[in-house]
Chains A and B, each alone.
Chain A
């Protein structure tokens, strides 16, 4: 079974600073996907960024980037130029690759990191 661990329950930074959220995972799979989801106070789950395990290049989405270390099973999220709107819970998640037809692709989530951006 896969497990995802986020060791930072809470983090707080000043607006415009850069912050890095940590995530480690455990799996015996070789092909999989990793995600960071944002959950603002509205409780909506918002996909921030996705990384395919077979890609060596780290994913980037505007101010959000990841550092994917497959051998170390580490997947951190860096938020540059942080904004007040980045205040939210952030969840790291794992999904197996769909090798077979209509295979179940459940998401396995970490416990989350509560990020607060201070003005």
Chain B
């Protein structure tokens, strides 16, 4: 158990719908990273939040957005869903201390299926 929790574990929805994925980081970790694992794109970085602020963006679609709340949990919002959005979405957290190694601890993932 990494200490990172993600809900729900599975999500099945239809094209055009909107869903919200939730992540709670390890106690004390200020950074949350979102990654998408799909068959055609592999594992890719979507977005990072540090202490409530967006810190880095990767290959995140405009239909996707995220935020980190004062209690440090994060939500990834996916809208106007398409079949190609079906994937495993991972959240990872880290302490992100400057000047050193910051291990990212991965949650169990949310499997999204768009029908």
A positions within 8 Å CB-CB of B: 33, 43-45, 47, 50, 52, 91, 98-112
Contacts and interface: CB of A to CB of B under 8 A. Distances in A.
B42 A43 contact: no
20 contacts: A33-B101, A43-B88, A43-B108, A43-B111, A44-B109, A45-B90, A52-B101, A98-B98, A98-B100, A98-B102, A99-B98, A99-B99, A101-B98, A103-B96, A105-B102, A106-B45, A107-B33, A107-B104, A109-B44, A112-B43
Contacts of B104: 105, 107
Contacts, number: 65
A80 to B, nearest CB: 24
Interface in B75-101: 88, 90, 92, 94, 96-101
B10 to A, nearest CB: 11
Contacts of A100: 98
Interface in B34-50: 35, 42-45, 48, 50
A105 B42 contact: no
Contacts of B50: 102, 104
A104 to B, nearest CB: 3
A114 B104 CA distance: 22
Nearest to B54: A104
Interface residues of B, number: 32
- Report whether over half of chain A's contact residues are helix, strand or loop; otherwise say mixed: loop
Given A44-B108, A112-B42, A106 B58 contact: yes
A50 B101 CA distance: 10
B98 A111 contact: no
Contacts of A99: 98-99
Top-3 shortest CB links A-B: A104-B56, A45-B106, A101-B98
